[in-house]
């Protein structure tokens, strides 16, 4: 490892930056960069992994699903336009409202955040690409496959129909495969969401340009960091819940069956621990877009940067204390409801602060009403109305009155349209010149806005009243003598006006713009780095990676643009013919090393197809092909890692420009891969914690858990099993230190110990008569052991990977990144196994 002293000068001096780059040198550098980052030609285009390609596909796919879900909404509005209507029957109506909610949330709102972030985050940060382009591509293809599978079920009249929250017992008792499609299809997409979140967090923390300390990074990056963190902690409880739910549906393990000790309330808890942060997961990124547009419109830096960071971080935390406000009507103790009511009121503080900061910025700035600002203004108006009804429904007695009525439908659409859809569309108008190198029509934009804004309010404002008059949600029709008729008719008319607005927008988005001249490079006179993009477009991301020491470099650092274009800054060249970006330190963005990023590949698509098989085949109870798919998916991922990650470079370090020499290979906490493993494992540990929570939940919620006369896991075998796994962990740790010949023997022994440990833990339950279909207690114990065994298999695969790496020279003492990453996985695994041992052998004995 090169020490700081022999890396060269940092930060660059003004004299260094002022030195011109000879024109012929600059041209040769640009040609090499262009060649390295070129898109694959012809049909191989689809193997691209660049953030600019994958991001666009991702956005368009999410928009497509949004349109489908919107059509479902229109059909429902037609059905509800008049009383006693028979346009849709009850069953189809149930499928439509379930899929409308599920698709809007899982196939549009969350993915569009990831899509837009993958698309624009690198340019906001002056990076060449995301740190793991192939992971983005893999996530995208998983999303496409899962989305088509879930939406496709509508065509076969087999779609889920138990509501977007899939409450048991309705969803567990219901016969068809709809619920399985929902559970497995959406779990698959959740995995892709977590993958994207990992990538975005690492991107913000490690891929900022040199000098961009945390106090000057774009607010969008702060929001991405917070939202990524929220995804890491909010999605896993739902994945754990899906796991329990699918075990019940497929194998009759009674997690949610009260007759055998289960409890449907557990699902509600796990669902809403995910479901409420989810609301903020879709809201914060849109507010982040607002935080980029407002300063540009006001032509001045944001007012209260620290206050907005406080808002983002504070909302991120508080949003986890709200989930029970979806369960106020379930009969929990009043004191518990009180805590959640209080937290639901408290979250208004940080949410409101950022809106005041935007208003303050507009007040003190010299506002120019650029078109995107129209959408932002509309968004703020709508969102404030939705926020205020939110304050109302956070009060328990009021909630009891309007629970499950159209009042809630109105409230949630006001928050989501104002807090998510309008800012996103404003953001698309704003960022379109960067994305497509063309501009959207301002005239059509105004049409779209006024149609949507009017249509939205005509649709949803009356719903407050419809709800107050007692119309329940999720009914496919209603009698004509309750006074709801004209309100419903108005809502239906409004829905079509709004749909017309969306059509105008989509037309503007997709219409051919070939004859339009190139737009100005920075049409809104914005101050942030993404506006250094090239027109016409270049695939290299940024010509050279600048040194940034202001919040609005284009306003505050003169000559920034010209020096970037001249290749004056870092990594202006690709002399080795590799795609590279710069990795910097977390807080101060000190340059650390040059990261080689991966290029086009088909393997990610294959990995996604087989991962899809592993999730989709079990829907039809076809387990052998599912297992084959899972094995092939793992094989693809191993191949992808082996061939393209932690590749030993041809030299130890390279000249990164401006007199800075940086290493090409790092391992451990310096490496982006290690951070990705760390964040992934946090998500994994959260899912496991949800299972542990379930055990305690059953203990508190039922009179007897474990039931009278229950058997316990064999204590001796549990001790032996956890001991073997701990031994395997210790050997892995030793192998990481040694990283030589001895490490190979240690890893081989560690693999054996892990396999033996898993088998012994299995026997600890198998040798008793604990039948998981009999009662929820044995089912829960088995669920923990299965969780551990699946993770042990992954742990053994990683050990084998490192063993092979050592044997074939992919891993050496100097190049030991896979060992570090595998050991990090094993730290978490060892802890998981120890906790599991305590949960199956000790906790039940204490609980009786």
- Torsions phi, psi of 580, nearest 5? -135, 150
Shortest CB 135 distance to other proteins, Å: 23
CA gap 144, 107 in Å, rounded: 9
Residue with tokens 């369960």: 327
Shortest CB 218 distance to other proteins, Å: 13
Q: Which is nearer to other proteins, 87 or 317 (CB)?
A: 317
| Strand pairing category for 653-657 and 591-596 | unpaired
CA gap 391, 411 in Å, rounded: 10
Shortest CB 337 distance to other proteins, Å: 8
* 637, 639, 645, 647 alpha-carbon torsion, rounded to 10°: 170
Shortest CB 342 distance to other proteins, Å: 4
- Where do contacts with other proteins occur on this chain (CB under 8 A)? 11, 13, 211-216, 301, 305-307, 309-310, 313-314, 317-318, 320-321, 332-336, 338-343, 345-346, 349-350, 548-551, 585-588, 700-701
Q: What are the beta bridge partners of residue 657?
A: 660
Shortest CB 296 distance to other proteins, Å: 16
The total of other beta-carbon atoms located within 10 Å of residue 555's CB is 18
Q: Which is nearer to other proteins, 224 or 548 (CB)?
A: 548
Q: Which is nearer to other proteins, 229 or 423 (CB)?
A: 229
CA gap 150, 367 in Å, rounded: 45
- Torsions phi, psi of 3, nearest 5? -85, 165
> In a 3-state reduction of DSSP, which class is residue 405?
strand
Q: Which is nearer to other proteins, 163 or 304 (CB)?
A: 304
Shortest CB 173 distance to other proteins, Å: 26
Q: Which is nearer to other proteins, 155 or 703 (CB)?
A: 703
CB 501 within 8 Å of CB 452: yes
> In a 3-state reduction of DSSP, which class is residue 504?
helix
Shortest CB 754 distance to other proteins, Å: 31
Shortest CB 185 distance to other proteins, Å: 32
Sign of the dihedral defined by the CA atoms of residues 138, 139, 143, 144, in that order: negative
Residues listed for the chain: 848
Question: In 3D, which of 109, 269, 251 has the Cα closest to residue 180?
Answer: 251
CA gap 689, 745 in Å, rounded: 34
Q: Which is nearer to other proteins, 155 or 335 (CB)?
A: 335
Q: Which is nearer to other proteins, 11 or 707 (CB)?
A: 11
Q: Which is nearer to other proteins, 66 or 302 (CB)?
A: 302
Q: Which is nearer to other proteins, 73 or 309 (CB)?
A: 309
Burial bucket for residue 774 (CB in 10 Å: 0-12, 13-18, 19+): middle
Shortest CB 667 distance to other proteins, Å: 16
Shortest CB 774 distance to other proteins, Å: 24
Residue with tokens 């340009």: 209
Shortest CB 443 distance to other proteins, Å: 37
Question: In 3D, which of 443, 423, 426, 422 has the Cα closest to residue 508?
Answer: 443
Q: Which is nearer to other proteins, 294 or 605 (CB)?
A: 294
Shortest CB 295 distance to other proteins, Å: 12
Shortest CB 309 distance to other proteins, Å: 5
Omega of the bond leading into 759 within 30 degrees of 0 (cis): no
Q: Which is nearer to other proteins, 346 or 506 (CB)?
A: 346
Shortest CB 648 distance to other proteins, Å: 26
Q: Which is nearer to other proteins, 342 or 648 (CB)?
A: 342
Burial bucket for residue 337 (CB in 10 Å: 0-12, 13-18, 19+): buried
CA gap 713, 778 in Å, rounded: 9
CA gap 723, 753 in Å, rounded: 9
Residue with tokens 């975005």: 200
CA gap 234, 239 in Å, rounded: 9
Q: Which residues contact 562 (CB under 8 A, 6 or more apart)?
A: none
Q: Which is nearer to other proteins, 318 or 743 (CB)?
A: 318
Q: Which is nearer to other proteins, 213 or 513 (CB)?
A: 213
Q: Which is nearer to other proteins, 183 or 582 (CB)?
A: 582
Q: Which is nearer to other proteins, 39 or 215 (CB)?
A: 215
Shortest CB 594 distance to other proteins, Å: 20
Shortest CB 528 distance to other proteins, Å: 13
Q: Which is nearer to other proteins, 301 or 707 (CB)?
A: 301
Please measure the distance between the N-terminal and C-terminal CA atoms of the chain and give it in whole angstroms.
Answer: 56
- Torsions phi, psi of 237, nearest 5? -60, -35
Omega of the bond leading into 706 within 30 degrees of 0 (cis): yes
**Which region holds residue 648: left if phi is over 0, alpha if psi is between -120 and 50, else beta?**
beta
CA gap 729, 149 in Å, rounded: 39
The total of other beta-carbon atoms located within 10 Å of residue 650's CB is 9
Run of H or E residues at 593 = strand 591-596
CA gap 48, 602 in Å, rounded: 8
Shortest CB 310 distance to other proteins, Å: 4
Tokens of 409: 């439908």
CA gap 111, 150 in Å, rounded: 15
């Amino acid at each position: 490892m090169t020490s700081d002293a022999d890396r060269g000068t940092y930060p660059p001096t003004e004299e260094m930056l002022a030195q011109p780059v000879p024109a012929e040198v600059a041209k040769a550098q640009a040609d090499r960069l262009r060649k390295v980052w070129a898109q694959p030609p012809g049909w191989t285009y689809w193997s691209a992994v660049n953030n600019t390609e994958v991001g666009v596909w991702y956005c368009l796919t999410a928009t497509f699903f949004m349109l489908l879900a919107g059509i479902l909404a229109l059909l429902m509005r037609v059905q509800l336009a008049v009383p006693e209507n028979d346009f849709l029957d009850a069953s189809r109506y149930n499928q439509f409202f379930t899929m409308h909610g599920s698709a809007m949330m899982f196939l549009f709102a969350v993915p569009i955040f990831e899509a837009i972030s993958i698309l624009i985050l690198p340019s906001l940060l002056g990076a060449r690409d995301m740190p793991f382009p192939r992971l983005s591509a893999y996530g995208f293809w998983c999303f496409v496959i899962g989305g088509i599978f879930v939406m496709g079920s509508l065509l076969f009249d087999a779609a889920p129909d138990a509501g977007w929250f899939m409450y048991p017992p309705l969803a567990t008792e219901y016969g068809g495969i709809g619920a399985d499609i929902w559970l497995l299809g959406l779990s698959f997409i959740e995995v892709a969401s977590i993958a994207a979140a990992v990538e975005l967090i690492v991107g913000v923390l490690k891929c900022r340009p040199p000098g961009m300390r945390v106090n000057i990074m774009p607010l969008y990056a702060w929001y991405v960091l917070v939202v990524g963190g929220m995804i890491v902690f909010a999605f896993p409880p739902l994945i754990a819940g899906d796991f329990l739910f699918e075990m019940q549906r497929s194998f009759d393990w009674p997690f949610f069956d009260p007759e055998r000790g289960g409890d449907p309330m557990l699902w509600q808890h796990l669902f809403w621990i995910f479901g409420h942060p989810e609301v903020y997961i879709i809201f914060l990124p849109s507010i982040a877009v607002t935080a980029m547009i407002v300063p540009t419109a006001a032509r001045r830096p944001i007012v209260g940067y620290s206050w907005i960071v406080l808002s983002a971080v504070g909302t991120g935390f508080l949003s986890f204390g709200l989930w029970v406000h979806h369960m106020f009507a379930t009969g929990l103790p009043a004191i518990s409801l009180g805590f959640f009511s209080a937290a639901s009121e408290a979250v208004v503080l940080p949410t409101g602060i950022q809106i005041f900061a935007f208003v303050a910025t507009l007040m003190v700035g010299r506002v120019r009403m650029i078109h995107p600002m129209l959408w932002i203004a509309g968004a703020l108006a709508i969102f404030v109305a939705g926020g205020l009804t939110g304050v109302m429904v956070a009060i328990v007695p009021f909630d009891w009155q309007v629970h499950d009525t159209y009042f809630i439908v109105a409230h949630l659409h006001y928050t989501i349209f104002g807090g998510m859809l309008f800012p996103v569309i404003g953001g698309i108008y704003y960022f379109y010149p960067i994305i497509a190198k063309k501009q959207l029509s301002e005239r059509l934009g105004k049409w779209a806005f006024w149609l949507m804004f009017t249509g939205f309010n005509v649709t949803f404002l009356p719903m407050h009243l419809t709800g107050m008059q007692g119309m329940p949600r999720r009914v496919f029709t209603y009698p004509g003598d309750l006074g709801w008729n004209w309100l419903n008719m108005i809502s239906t008319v409004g829905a079509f006006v709004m749909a017309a607005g969306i059509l105008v927008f989509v037309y503007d988005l997709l219409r051919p713009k070939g004859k339009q001249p190139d737009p100005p490079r920075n049409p809104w006179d914005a101050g942030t780095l993404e506006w250094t993009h090239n027109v016409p477009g270049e695939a290299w991301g940024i010509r050279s990676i600048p040194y940034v020491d202001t919040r609005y470099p284009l306003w505050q650092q003169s000559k920034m643009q010209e020096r970037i274009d001249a290749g004056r800054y870092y990594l202006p060249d690709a002399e080795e013919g590799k795609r590279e970006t710069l990795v910097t330190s977390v807080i101060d963005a000190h340059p650390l090393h040059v990261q080689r990023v991966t290029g086009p590949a088909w393997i990610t698509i294959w990995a996604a197809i087989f991962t899809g098989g592993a999730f989709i085949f079990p829907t039809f109870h076809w387990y052998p092909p599912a297992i084959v798919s899972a094995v092939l998916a793992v094989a693809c991922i191993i191949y992808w890692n082996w061939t393209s990650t932690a590749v030993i470079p041809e030299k130890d370090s390279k000249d990164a420009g401006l007199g800075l020499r940086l290493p090409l290979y790092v391992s451990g906490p310096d490496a982006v891969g290690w951070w990705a493993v760390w964040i992934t494992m946090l998500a994994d540990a959260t899912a496991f914690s949800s299972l542990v929570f379930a055990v305690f939940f059953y203990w508190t919620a039922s009179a007897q858990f474990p039931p009278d006369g229950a058997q316990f896991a064999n204590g001796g075998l549990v001790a032996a099993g956890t001991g073997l796994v701990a031994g395997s962990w210790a050997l892995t740790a030793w192998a990481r230190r040694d990283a030589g010949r001895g490490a190979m023997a240690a890893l081989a022994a560690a693999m054996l110990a892990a396999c033996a440990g898993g088998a012994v833990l299995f026997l600890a339950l198998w040798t008793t008569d604990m039948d998981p279909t009999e009662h929820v207690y044995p089912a829960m114990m088995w669920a923990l052991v299965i969780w551990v065994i699946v993770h042990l298999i992954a742990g053994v695969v990683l050990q084998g990977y490192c063993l092979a790496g050592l044997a074939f020279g992919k891993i050496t003492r100097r190049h030991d990144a896979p060992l570090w990453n595998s050991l990090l996985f094993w730290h978490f695994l060892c802890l998981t196994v120890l906790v599991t041992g305590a949960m199956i052998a000790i906790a039940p004995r204490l609980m009786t």
